[in-house]
Structure 1
Amino acid sequence: MSLREKTIEELEEIEEELNEQEEEHGYSNYSMKIELYKEMYRKLSQLVRQNNEDYQSSLDYVKRKLIYCLIHYGTYLKTEYQKDDYLARSCLEESLKYDKRNPLASYRLGFLSYKFNEYTKAIQYFQNALDNEQYHKQHLYQLNEQQQLNAHLYLSNCALHIAKETYEKINQLPLAKTQEIPKQELSPLFSSLIENEQYLLRHAFYKVNKAGTTTCSKAECEKLISNPPRDTFLLYFSDRTIIAVFNGEEALLTQDQGYMLSYFLLNSSEAVPATRHDFSVVDTIIPNTYTTNVSRLRRKLTEQGFPPMIQTKRYDNETGYYCNGTYPFYIMYRSDEEIEYR
């Protein structure tokens, strides 16, 4: 029986089964969850349109979960360990069908369009991201200061690219050889374009440790990863994968594991360890799921030869975890993709 033929109650049971499977097997079936939430949203929307207001809160709740999965997990639908720009684009576009004013979805679509040299599309997305920032109240999807600055620079670069291409095409037209066409000086455009590109490259990544946050280039991140300092923990959210590095050993992490480890490094301490509530962004995480996920992360790091870093402590009647701070660390990630849970 397809999801379309299921009742709301049956769909909720499937969601429970998926959650149980995730806890048991240690991987997240976000592809199935997205399809499930889409069908739940469709059915609940029909009920609300029939003036059954009792379902409005359920509809809002399912919508939040669907949008979150599309924006934050669409990149990894094909595999938990490697990003896919084309899947990301498809999911981000779909998220805008449910939340057309979502600034983060528009921003990331602008970045992908720019990456694919689709400058007209990129202008529309970046402008929408900036325009809709004032309307969107959820902090989860608002742009940070670096993203706002980048959006303006990308907008400027898109216009410069389009102008450059247009002037080149004008000069190739037959009439351009016989009529007096206004001469366009391209050198200032090239200069501005190059300066903007260089800035974006120099500030493409954040490099974060306990002392604070600085920006750097992708090349600097890769240089640090290829020649890491001794007894220093590195966590790198690259353009394709998430890897942890320590004294020559590497561990490939899932998106959830990368986010969780970054939170432990940056925001946890023995005095205030991180509990499951720190990771309950759109849904409540049950205690067993949280402890199981942390155990899997610990085991993966240990199996790859990493020293024990994540400690356990009871906090507010919850199981909490924190990094013991034995080793210095660096976390590196794209300034275009703010890490979750920070």
Structure 2
Amino acid sequence: MSLRDKTLEELEEMEAELSDQEAESGFANYSMKIDIYKEMVRKLELLIRQRNKEYEDILEYVKRKLVFYLIHYGTYLKTEYQKDDHLAASCLNNVLRYDRTNPIAPYRLGFLSYKNREYAEAIQFFQKALENDKYYPNHNYKLNGQQQLNAHLYLTNSALRVANQAYENMKQLPDLSDVPKQEFSPLIENILINEQYLQRHAFYLVDETSKTTCSKADCENLVDRPPLDTLLLYFNDRDILMVFEEKMITLSYNQGIMIRHFLLKSSEERPATRASFTSDIEENSYVQNVNRFRNKLREYGFPPIIQNKRYNNETAYYYNGAYPYKIMYRVDDEIEYA
């Protein structure tokens, strides 16, 4: 039976069963969850069109979950461990279908277009991102200061590249006797200056006391020559790596987000409960996920760094502060996390 043939109640049961399966196996089925939420939205919209207004709040709730999954997990639909730009673009376009004024979705689409040298499309996306950002009510999906600056630089460079290409095409026309000569070398120089800035500030580098920007080359150098007794967490352009001296492991997206939260936001006084990540997960599933991650670290020879305690009548976890850490992730990937 297809999802279309199922009732809302059956879809809710499927979602719950899927979460239980994920907790047991340790592998997330992002694609199926997104498909379930899409079908729930379709059914709820149909009910509302039939004047069942009592479903409006439920629809908004399901849409929020769908948008969350599309934004956070869209790049990992094929595998938990590697990004896929094509799937990312598809999911981000879907975000704009369900949340048309979202600013982070067109911003990321603009970045992907620019990366693929599709400059005319990049212009439209960055303009939309900046316009949406002015009035969007949800702080979680608004652009931060660095992203706003980057959006303007990407937009400027995209427009300059389109103008330069138009001029190059015009030079191929048969009769240019009456066309004024243009000097584009200063514009090309501006493009290079902007791109050098974007490359130098492409990644955030976060430690216990500071948050700065750096280049991808700086991140790669750190990973290749890790500092002594220092944990490194690197969200690169393909996967997520955790490094400690000579030891390196590849993390799933959920594991990467989990350890980043533990490092940045947890302490013995304020450990992370399941609510730190999502209210939808059961306590037992949360415990299983964290224990599975701790076991993985132990198997690869990493020192014990995650401790647990009871907090607000729940099992909670925190980073024990045993080692300094450095976290590296792309400026263009950041979303304000609670």
Asked if TM exceeds 0.5, the reply is yes
What residue number does 1:93 align with? 93
What residue number does 1:181 align with? 179
Q: Indicate the SS of the match to 2:23.
A: helix
**Displacement, 1:341?**
3.0
Q: Indicate the SS of the match to 1:336.
A: helix
Q: Which of 321, 329, 332 is equivalent to 1:333? A: 329
Instruction: Judge conservation of contact 1:279–1:341 (CA < 8 Å) in 2.
Output: no
Letter in 1 for 2:194: N
CA deviations 1:106-165 (Å, max 9, x no partner) are 100000000011111111111111101122111111111110000000000001111111
Query: Cα 1:241–1:215, aligned 2, differ >3 Å: closer, same or farther?
Result: same
CA deviations 1:57-102 (Å, max 9, x no partner) are 2111111111111111110001100000000001111111111111
What residue number does 1:228 align with? 226
Q: Indicate the SS of the match to 2:267.
A: coil
What residue number does 2:32 align with? 32
Letter in 2 for 1:53: K
Letter in 1 for 2:121: K
What residue number does 1:69 align with? 69
Instruction: Judge conservation of contact 1:259–1:340 (CA < 8 Å) in 2.
Output: no
Instruction: Judge conservation of contact 1:275–1:320 (CA < 8 Å) in 2.
Output: yes
Separation (CA, whole Å) in 1 of partners of 2:70 and 2:283: 25
Separation (CA, whole Å) in 1 of partners of 2:42 and 2:252: 30
Q: Percent identity?
A: 61
Q: Indicate the SS of the match to 1:234.
A: strand
**Displacement, 1:305?**
0.6
What residue number does 2:161 align with? 161
Separation (CA, whole Å) in 2 of partners of 1:139 and 1:256: 22
**Displacement, 1:284?**
2.8
Asked if 1:46 corresponds to 2:46, the answer is: yes
Q: Indicate the SS of the match to 1:133.
A: helix
Separation (CA, whole Å) in 2 of partners of 1:251 and 1:341: 24
Unaligned runs of 5+ in 1: none
What residue number does 2:290 align with? 294
Letter in 2 for 1:154: Y
Letter in 1 for 2:216: K
What residue number does 2:205 align with? 207
Letter in 2 for 1:314: R
Instruction: Judge conservation of contact 1:310–1:321 (CA < 8 Å) in 2.
Output: yes
**Displacement, 1:339?**
5.3
Unaligned runs of 5+ in 2: none
**Displacement, 1:340?**
6.1
**Displacement, 1:251?**
1.1
Pairwise CA RMSD of aligned residues? 1.1
Separation (CA, whole Å) in 2 of partners of 1:199 and 1:184: 26
Q: Which of 191, 211, 223 is equivalent to 1:193? A: 191
What residue number does 2:20 align with? 20
CA deviations 1:192-240 (Å, max 9, x no partner) are 1110000000000000000110110000100110111111100000000
Asked if 1:313 corresponds to 2:303, the answer is: no
Instruction: Judge conservation of contact 1:48–1:56 (CA < 8 Å) in 2.
Output: yes
Q: Indicate the SS of the match to 1:308.
A: coil
Letter in 1 for 2:288: T
Separation (CA, whole Å) in 1 of partners of 2:336 and 2:75: 14
Instruction: Judge conservation of contact 2:233–2:328 (CA < 8 Å) in 1.
Output: yes
Instruction: Judge conservation of contact 2:139–2:336 (CA < 8 Å) in 1.
Output: no
Instruction: Judge conservation of contact 1:204–1:218 (CA < 8 Å) in 2.
Output: yes
Letter in 1 for 2:202: A
Asked if 1:254 corresponds to 2:232, the answer is: no
Q: Which of 245, 266, 269 is equivalent to 1:268? A: 266
Separation (CA, whole Å) in 1 of partners of 2:25 and 2:139: 32
Separation (CA, whole Å) in 2 of partners of 1:341 and 1:26: 23
Q: Indicate the SS of the match to 2:39.
A: helix
Separation (CA, whole Å) in 1 of partners of 2:174 and 2:296: 65
Separation (CA, whole Å) in 1 of partners of 2:149 and 2:81: 30
Instruction: Judge conservation of contact 2:141–2:336 (CA < 8 Å) in 1.
Output: no
TM-score, normalised via structure 2 length: 0.98
What residue number does 1:80 align with? 80
Separation (CA, whole Å) in 2 of partners of 1:248 and 1:340: 32
What residue number does 1:115 align with? 115
Separation (CA, whole Å) in 2 of partners of 1:233 and 1:172: 56
Separation (CA, whole Å) in 2 of partners of 1:230 and 1:180: 67
**Displacement, 1:54?**
1.8
What residue number does 1:132 align with? 132
Separation (CA, whole Å) in 2 of partners of 1:272 and 1:317: 13
TM-score, normalised via structure 1 length: 0.97
